[in-house]
Amino acid sequence: MRYFVLATDYDGTLATDGHVNDATKTTLKRLRISGRKLILVTGRQLDDLQRAFSELDLFNYVVAENGALLYSPASRTEKLLGTAPHF
């Protein structure tokens, strides 16, 4: 079986204590170069995620804010999919 897309969470999966280690970044880059698509899925608000992880361009798409927002790092466009979470 061949996988074409990797969808992954940020906190506790890619990041430990808010930090993504270099080996994980290298692996993500290798996956992207291989032609696979990468999707980051997180409950974080987009602006918070951008401050925490400056390498969002590794991903084809980011689903943020508990599924309420779709972000394309390549075009820097946002598409609202639902109402933003209220804190």
Position 18 scores a pLDDT of 86
CB 59 within 8 A of CB 41: no
The pair of three-digit structure tokens given for residue 72, joined into one six-digit string: 């394309």
Position 87 scores a pLDDT of 67
Q: How confident is the model at residue 84 (pLDDT cuts 50, 70, 90)?
A: low
Amino acid, single-letter form, for residue 72: S
In what helix (H) or strand (E) does residue 33 lie, and over which residues does it extend? helix 22-33
Q: Is the pLDDT of residue 85 over 70?
A: no
- What is the C-alpha to C-alpha distance for residues 36 and 28, in angstroms, rounded to an integer? 10
pTM of the model: 0.88
Position 1 scores a pLDDT of 66
Tell me how crowded residue 67 is: count the other CB atoms within 10 A of its CB.
13
Query: 35 to each of 3, 5, 8, 38, 50, how far by Cα in Å?
Result: 10, 9, 17, 10, 24
Sign of CA dihedral 59, 78, 63, 5: negative
Position 38 scores a pLDDT of 97
All domains of the chain in start order, with CATH: 5-66 (3.40.50.1000)
pLDDT tens track for 2-55: 889 999 999 999 999 989 999 999 999 999 999 999 999 999 999 999 999 999
